[in-house]
Homo-oligomer: A and B are copies of this chain.
Amino acid sequence: MAGRKTNPPFLNGVPELLLLELLARRSMYGYELVQAIRAATGGELEFGEGCIYPILHRLEGQGVLAAQRQAVGGRVRVVYGLTAKGKTQWAESKSAWQRVTQAIHHALQGGERGRAALAS
């Protein structure tokens, strides 16, 4: 339990979920995404570049994202956007997340009462 300071110890696959969400709105490049996630979560969550870039590359390899090199100034940005497959995955991830969090939320609430809501 020694190391581990930054983010709270939940989350797994959450970076990917957030990536898909943000890219569903508009194409962005890696460095931008790192800060967009921080902004979008009100600073609550923060994933380093060492977390984001590998995911980006993996998703691109899976055909979920499409990369496009853009020259801006004298620099090159790699802008990512969702493919058709990506949109499907985005929708799936999102609903999976909602199912899971609802289940947990339910478990955190449903003590002695609230069992009625379990209508098969």
Contacts and interface: CB of A to CB of B under 8 A. Distances in A.
B108 A21 contact: yes
A18 B94 contact: no
A1 B44 CA distance: 27
A108 B94 contact: yes
Contacts of A108: 17, 21, 94, 97
A interface, by DSSP: helix, strand, loop or mixed?
A: helix
Interface string A1-22: 1000000111111101110011
Contacts of A1: 58, 62
Interface in A62-120: 62, 94, 96-97, 99-101, 103-108, 110-112, 118
Nearest to A16: B9
A107 B13 contact: no
Interface of A: 1, 8-14, 16-18, 21-22, 25, 37, 39-42, 44-45, 58, 62, 94, 96-97, 99-101, 103-108, 110-112, 118
5 contacts: A8-B99, A17-B108, A18-B104, A44-B100, A97-B108
